[in-house]
Chain A
C-alpha cells in the first residue's frame, strides 16, 4: 500500500514539477529532464534494459544448450581434466573429469531454471488463492492463513526443506514443491494486502448489490485487478527460487545425478579452489548474472508500474 503512494522522493525539494507545459512556466525543458519523475522513468527503463540483457545472456544459451556447437555435458575425456578456460575450444575450461564446463553449466541451468519456474507457478497459485481468500473473506479464513504465515516465520525453514527432500527423495517434483512451500507466504501476504484495499472499492459493493455470489465477485472482479500487481513480485521470486535450489543442491539435496544443477557443480568444484578457480567462479557468475538480471528486471517493471499509477495519487496529494 505504501508502494502505491510513493511521492517524488527527492531530498532537494523539487517536489511539484509536474506542471502542465501549456501554461507559461519558469520550468524549462532542461529542468523537466532533470526532474525526479523523468529520471525515475529513465532509471526504470535502464534497469529493465540491463536486466533483460542479463537474463537473455543466460536464458538463451541455456535454452539452446542442445543445439549449440559444444560437447555434451557428460562427454568425458580423462586426459583433458581441469583445463583452464579458453583452452582447447573449451570456453569455460573443463572439470575434474574433462567435461566441458560451459556445457555442464548450460545443461545444469535447464534443470535449475525448470525447477525455479515450476516452483513459482506452484507458489504463485497457492499464494494467490490463500491470500485472496484471507483478504476477501476475512474472519476465520484470514485468521487461519495469517497464523500459517506467522508460523512459517519461526520455522527452521532450510532444515524442514532438507528433511522433506530426505523424506520424499531428491526428485525434481519434490524439490519444486519444497521451494514453492518456502515461497508461498510472500505471494499470499502481498495478495492479501492488495485484496484488502480492493475489497473496499465501490465496484465490489456494486457487485454485492447486484446479487453476485461472493466467490464469483472475488474470482471475476477482484482477482483480475490484483493479479497484475501481484505478478510483479513473481520475477523476484524466480530469483529467490534459483538461489534456493542452488543452496539445496550445494547441501546435497539436489536432483539425483547425473543431473548437474548449478549448486552441485559448485559444490563439486569446491575441492579444487586452490588450483582450478574456474570450477567454482564461473558457474557462480552465471547464477549471479541471471539473478541480477531477473532482480533488475523485476525492480524496473515494478518502478514502471508504480509510476503509471503514481501520477493520479500524486495529483491528488498536490491538489489537496
Chain B
C-alpha cells in the first residue's frame, strides 16, 4: 500500500512538473506582451524594454526556465505582474472561493443525483424513467454559461430574490451551485441508474431477495453499495475537474475564484500568475484523485482482499 502511494505520488509530481513546464513555454510563445499589458498604452519602447528587463523577460527562454525551476524548488512562484504581489498569495486568496463552490456543487449534485438515479433504476424502462431520462439529458445539454445567464435572469432580474454576482452572503452561492450542479446531476444520476441496473440483475441480489430482505434494503444497501466504487470515482473526478476552476460559471457570476482569475491572468499575460494557478490546481486535482484511489479498499471488500477492481 505504502509502495503504491509512493509510486502514485512520484508519477503525479512528474506529471505536474511536465504540465507546469508546458504552460511555462506555451505562455511565452503566445503572442502578447506582458510589459504592454502592465504599462500604460502610451508607454514608449524604451520603457517597455525596461519593464521586460524588470520582469526578467529579456533573458533567453532557457535561462528564464532555469530561474523558474530554481525558484520553484525554493517555493517561490514569482511576483504576479498585474497584482504586484507574490503569485502564490494571489492564487491562495482566490482558491477558497473555488473550493467552496466545488464542494457545494458536488454535494448538491450528489444529494439530488443519487436518489434520482436510484428512482430511475427502480422504475427502469417505464415511461416515467424515460421522462426523467430526457430531463437529465436536457440538463446535460445546456451550455453552462447559458443556463447560468438564464438562472440569473430569472432569479436576480425578473424575481430578484438572489444576488447575481460575487460572494457577499451565502445566498450568493445558490445560483452558481445550481448552474454547476445541473450538468453534474445529469451525468451522475445517469451513472447511478446504469450501475444500479446492472446491480439489480446480479445473482447476489436475487439471493438477498430470497432471504427476505426488504426492497428498500436491497436498493440502498446492496445495489447502491455495489455501485459505490464507480460512483465515488465519478464524484471525485468531477470534483477534481471543478478545482481546475469552474471557469465559465465563475465568469458568468463574477465569482472571485481561480477560474475567473485565470481568464484575467491570460488577458494581462501575467505569466507567474498563470503558472502559479496551474501548479496549485494541478496539485489539488492530483491529491483528490489519490484520495479517491485510497477510498476503494474501504468501499469494496474485493480490493481489500487484494483482488483487482473491475474498471
Binary per-residue interface labels of chain A (126-161) against chain B in the complex, 1 for a CB within 8 Å, 0 otherwise: 000000000000000000000100110111111110
Cβ of B134 to closest chain A Cβ, rounded Å: 7
Cβ of B27 to closest chain A Cβ, rounded Å: 6
Pick the interface stretch among B18-26, B35-43, B44-52, B101-109.
B18-26
CB interface residues, A 27-47, toward B, < 8 Å: 36, 39-40, 43, 46-47
| Residue among A13, A151, A163, A239 making CB contact with B266, cutoff 8 Å | A163
Q: Is the CB of A6 closer than 8 A to any CB of chain B?
A: yes
Q: How many residue pairs bridge A and B at CB < 8 Å?
A: 175
Binary per-residue interface labels of chain B (152-172) against chain A in the complex, 1 for a CB within 8 Å, 0 otherwise: 110001000000000000000
Binary per-residue interface labels of chain B (183-222) against chain A in the complex, 1 for a CB within 8 Å, 0 otherwise: 0000000000010111011100010010000010001000
Interface of B, secondary structure class, is helix
The residues of A that contact B262 with a CB separation of less than 8 Å are 156, 159, 162
Q: Report if A36-B124 is in contact (Cβ < 8 Å); known contacts: A156-B278, A159-B262, A167-B26.
A: yes
Binary per-residue interface labels of chain A (278-306) against chain B in the complex, 1 for a CB within 8 Å, 0 otherwise: 00110010011001100110010000000
Q: Report if A246-B143 is in contact (Cβ < 8 Å); known contacts: A11-B122, A154-B286.
A: yes
Q: Is the CB of A124 closer than 8 A to any CB of chain B?
A: no
The residues of B that contact A246 with a CB separation of less than 8 Å are 143, 145-146
Nearest to B122 among chain A residues (CB) is A11
Q: How far is the CA of A267 from the CA of B278 in the complex (A)?
A: 26
Show 27 A/B contacts (Cβ-Cβ < 8 Å), sorted by A: A2-B198, A6-B194, A6-B197, A9-B196, A13-B209, A39-B125, A39-B126, A43-B125, A47-B134, A153-B285, A153-B289, A154-B19, A154-B289, A155-B282, A156-B278, A158-B245, A158-B248, A159-B262, A243-B141, A246-B146, A266-B145, A266-B149, A273-B149, A274-B157, A284-B149, A288-B141, A296-B134
Other contacts beyond A2-B198, A5-B198, A243-B143: 9, CB < 8 A: A9-B201, A43-B125, A47-B133, A154-B12, A155-B282, A156-B244, A156-B262, A251-B247, A299-B133
Interface residues of B, Cβ cutoff 8 Å to A: 11-12, 15-16, 18-19, 23, 26-27, 29-32, 121-122, 124-126, 129-130, 133-134, 137-138, 140-146, 149-150, 152-153, 157, 194, 196-198, 200-202, 206, 209, 215, 219, 237, 240-241, 244-245, 247-248, 251, 262-263, 266, 274, 277-278, 281-282, 285-286, 289, 310
